Amino acid sequence: MAPPTKTIRNSSIGHGNDGPCSLPDQLSSCLSINYLPDSILRFIGEYLRKSSRAIMASALSRSACFESDTLDFSDTGRDLAPKLTDSDISNILVSIDAVNALKVLKLIGCTNITGTGLDPLRGSTVLEQIDLSSSDNATIANGEDLFSPNFPWCFTLSEDAVIPILDSIIAEKDRALNHVQLPLVWRKKKSKQLVEFLESYNLVKSSRLCLCVQCDDVVESSVWMNQIIDSSDWGLQSHTCYDCTEHICQECEAGFCQDCRKQFCEDCCTTKICEMCYSAFCSECEDLAVCEVCDNYFCQDCMPVRFCDCCNRDRCVDCMLHWDCSRCGKSNCDDCADEHNVQWCEVCEDEYCNDCRLEDYNNGELDCKGCRGLLLPRIMHEKEALSRENEMLKFVVINALNEISKDPSKAMCIECTDKDVQEDDCIITVAV
């Protein structure tokens, strides 16, 4: 058998990322993951999400763990992303050589950073998109927030830390930056520093020839970032797809999602438009209701598509009239207008379902004559059903008594097979 030193010397573990190791180092660290070859690290990274690979690259100081041009922290999970600090972000960006390799950076979920950790991206000529919307629920901290138990979660990215980095990127002659997603709290604040950045960004974007990804026409626009002060879209980028960062001309523009406030091209994300308010929503934000009759889409705010609790069908109010119980919320379409549906009383002007009216009737609380009239078909139907049950029960009892009168020994041989027969047998026993 070969001696251990020879086995270690001849193995790939003895040759780390930086070349051959000394024999003591081989003996003490032969099982360390730091001495695994790059091919093994890449193989391990295939089982991890991209953000986890980047964190692994930072922990091991081995860029081979991360071989992607996209870093999205939204896939790290709700527990990990909020715990990342500026130091963590900086180490990750340095370890993956982000300034020369990273094209897309999304800080979604990173609510514990101020932005100083983005300094390794300063002057990048390869970065195409940066999403700074770490949290749309963030607020601008004041003196009281400094002593809040939620500190520092209430803070958002610092404009003083991030905007100079963005300025250094757009100042590069060979810049590749196509899309910037700003935090909601920045767009609400509208600081002088941010206004100046938007003006610079629009200026440098307009200085370049941009072609539409769908029709190949020139995108003629001098306003890439909305600068209308009174607009709710102030600070949002237009004419650019959020997913592929390609440009879209005004004639080919797809719907602008009213929920996530992002724009997409037709190839990246399908948008659906509400037939009532004409608002557009992407497929990832809101599942629009569709009418089974006219096939039109409607958003949750308009809510014209109603579900009938009787026939279990979804139809809009233009295709089918619906009635809602003001007490239990039960809904019925006009096709299901029988004694079980929701009806409006002309006397008391209440709109209840007959289940609620029957409950009040049984409790002696239904005083309205109009409601009693609406409930009458339901009561008559139940009485007819009860009468049929009594007739069936009477028939069973008579037959059983006739059998017993012929042979009294059969009285002890009557067996029950279900609940209804058990009740009949009890009556038969009493009769005997």
DSSP 275-310: TTT--EEETTT---EE-TTT--EE-TTT--EEE-TT
User: To which H or E segment does residue 260 belong?
Assistant: none
* Chain-centre distance for alpha carbon 334: 34
Q: What's the pLDDT at 416?
A: 47
Structure tokens at 80: 């990990």
User: To which H or E segment does residue 344 belong?
Assistant: strand 342-344
Q: What's the pLDDT at 7?
A: 35
* C-alpha to C-alpha distance for 70 and 103, rounded to whole angstroms: 6
* C-alpha to C-alpha distance for 150 and 167, rounded to whole angstroms: 32
* C-alpha to C-alpha distance for 371 and 49, rounded to whole angstroms: 62
Q: At what angle do helices 38-45 and 50-60 cross, to 10 degrees?
A: 150
* Low-confidence spans in the chain with pLDDT less than 70: 1-32, 134-155, 221-222, 253-255, 286, 323, 329, 337-340, 344, 408-432
Q: What's the pLDDT at 429?
A: 40
Backbone phi, psi, residue 70, to 5°: -125, 130
Q: What's the pLDDT at 100?
A: 92
